[in-house]
Amino acid sequence: MAGIDTDVAADVAQSLPEEEVRICLFSMSGDYYAVTVDVLAEIIITQKVFPVPTTPSHVLGIINLRGNIVPIVDIRPALSLPQLSGINQIAIVNHERMIVGIVVDAVSEVIAVPRSSVLPLPAEISTQDAGIRRRSRFLRAVIQKGDTVAALLDIDRLFEAIKLS
């Protein structure tokens, strides 16, 4: 009887769908990044960004989003990526009690991936050049979807480093 119970439990476990993680994939400077949809509010197309005097260089300005003033930031410097060449799309994210816009090159898609596709950062990352090591502080994991590999951003750490919280 024990063998039958074990077989049934194994069959049930195999038939249950794997837990999924919903993410938003986007590109910046030729690399793919992701945020979980629990922090993502929406994606908007470029609109007029109003500069604010005396703000840090990574704060590009503010926008009026349906009556809410939203700071727009460029996270490229924190990720050791090349300078921003223009605003294409803005990912509006929730961070603690703040709404912030992150400038991205292009949003690829919002998808659900199996939790098994969310992999820990490779150990070899500590032996890479300084830029990659600095960037890795702001990454939680690596997500693989087909041939695409994206770095899952740690929004809390990133905003803490660029002094938005």
Would you say residue 72 has pLDDT above 90? yes
How far, rounded to the nearest angstrom, does the alpha carbon of residue 121 sit from its chain's CA centroid? Answer: 14
Collapsing DSSP states into helix, strand and coil, what is residue 118?
Answer: strand
Domain extent, residue 104, equals 18-161
Q: Over 60: is that where the pLDDT of 131 sits?
A: no
The answer to the question of residue 127 being in a domain is: yes
> CA 148 to CA 108: how far, in whole Å?
11
Task: Indicate whether 128 pLDDT > 90.
Answer: no
- What is the average pLDDT value for the chain, to the nearest integer? 82
Beta strands in 68-105 (DSSP E): 68-73, 89-95, 98-104
Would the pLDDT of 15 be above 70?
no
Burial of 156 (C-beta count, 10 Å sphere; 0-12/13-18/19+):
middle
pLDDT at position 122 is 77
Question: What is the DSSP secondary structure assignment for residue 57, as one 8-state letter?
Answer: T
**Count of domains forming the chain:** 1
| Cβ neighbours around 3 below 10 Å, total | 7
d(CA 63, CA 84) in angstroms, rounded, equals 18
Residue-level pLDDT at 134? 67
At 92 the pLDDT is 94
DSSP 107: E
Residue 87, domain member (yes or no): yes
Please enumerate in sequence order all residues whose Cβ is within 8 A of that of 114, keeping only pairs 6 or more positions apart, or say none.
18, 19, 20, 21
CATH number of the domain residue 87 falls in: 2.40.50.180
pLDDT for residue 6? 52
Contact present, 65 and 92 (Cβ < 8 Å): yes
Give the residue-averaged pLDDT of 115-119: 87
- Residue 6 placed within a domain: no
Residue 11: inside a domain, yes or no? no
Kindly state whether residue 102 falls inside one of the protein's structural domains: yes
Highest mean pLDDT among 1-5, 18-22, 62-66: 62-66
- 46 compared with 92, residue with greater pLDDT: 92
Residue 132, pLDDT score? 60
